[in-house]
Amino acid sequence: MTKTILGLSGSLRRASFNAGLLRAAAEVVPEGTRIQIGSIREVPLYDGDQEDASGLPESVRQLQAQLAAADGLLLVTPEYNNGVPGVFKNAIDWMSRGDGLAMFVGKPVAVIGASTGGFGTILAQSHWLPVLRTLKTDFWAETRLMVSRAEKVFDDQGNLTDDKTRDALRNYLAGFAASL
């Protein structure tokens, strides 16, 4: 039986290093596992009045359905101003609305990321922890993957070009997939 991991990138930029890291993850995921790449692009800013008037937006319902069907969740996070990108947090907040909160409870979640800084996404990854605890996820913390100096390992289209990073990603995903 194939295990499915829902992968979400927290960047909307076309040539995003994190979207590229997610694409590379889908290529190197272990046999018997697949990564379904979801998108947060169409998720609007959270507005309780909008939710009350119209319910959950279609983009959110689609992400919730993908999460419900997945065995695990992979968050590929940029780091903006030493923290979690607002657009990414907003998408997770929307996904937890309605019946969405129950979909996170006990769900295995892993967090990776890439940035141009020297410490990768260490602070953004740490900032996800209180959110993931609140959602009662099963945070996978066996190892970490933080790609620093991303401009040196991705091309100008956001594609991962570095074999050492690709191998580290492959090993990370093998561990996460084995835990599902």
Residue 7: count other Cβ atoms within 10 Å of its Cβ.
27
| Cα–Cα distance for residue pair 163/28, rounded to 1 Å | 11
Considering the chain, what percentage of its residues have pLDDT values greater than 70?
A: 100
Q: What would the mean pLDDT of 119-139 be, rounded to a whole number?
A: 97
Q: Which pLDDT score, from 0 to 100, does residue 12 have?
A: 96
Q: What would the mean pLDDT of 58-71 be, rounded to a whole number?
A: 98
Q: What is the CATH number of the domain that holds 102?
A: 3.40.50.360
| Contacts of 97 by beta carbon, 8 Å cutoff, 6+ apart | 46, 51, 56, 60
Which structural domain range is residue 172 located in? 3-179
pLDDT tens, residue by residue, 136-155 = 999 999 999 999 999 999 99
Say what the pTM is: 0.97
**What are residue 73's DSSP bridge partners?**
6, 109
- CB burial string 132-146: b at 16+ within 10 A, e below: beebebbebeeeebb
Query: How many structural domains does the chain have?
Result: 1
